[in-house]
Structure 1
């Protein structure tokens, strides 16, 4: 009986091995590549610190303000400064206004300390260009109130200039 038992065990083992070999022989594998893409969009932000001129007494007064532009790394941008809200203001002659009697005090905004290059809002003409590097980039605005404006009334004068980042 032991030979018969051994014979049955060998037969069952052979059958199991055959099934396993049969399964492995029929298994197949295929592969494909999955494409993965992303786009980084240009984005910019700007913060400002006010330009506060010292007291005007009829002689020229200069001052500065700071802009901070933060743009995506590699994003080209331009910074434009509008004409402000003063009566008859342009980007070449802006006007601070005394709210009490609507009198104006003319001033200019410039790209450098020598006050020779006006800062306006026409891209490619009178704006400041830069390229973002992903960090905050400081930009100085130079302001000037010319001497000789004796028709101005005593009081406080204000203006608001729109800063535009084109990117």
Structure 2
């Protein structure tokens, strides 16, 4: 297992998942969940406290892409050791004139998840999920659970198999 957490199959602990994540987690092969201290949900603090290597942790950022007055949203998954190239790769891939991180209040209200726990599992239907090649190739990555009080452990290939997922070279 990864880190010092007590991992349990996600299907056995829906109480540790945000509602949209719990509804979708059954479709994620080998997903496991572990409770954490919500004050340690941010990546650096989480990894340090629970002995999870940064390269075994992946972040999900919500991007707002704009073109011709229309706004579309997408999720980007990158390892904690990298950053999503929002203004270059992501913007071009989405065919947008402008792309930026979605404001926190928009990201949380649209996803039904807590800030610091947003995950690609259970996102609104039709949202593209851009998964960096390194995330897809990882044997397992720790990601958000939709809540700050827990984390999911999933195979990288399971993220690449999510509805709307595309594997691309995303990180800078």
Same fold (TM over 0.5): no
- Larger-Rg structure: 1
How high is the TM-score relative to the length of structure 1?
0.21
Q: Which has the higher strand share?
A: 1
Q: Which has the higher helix share?
A: 2
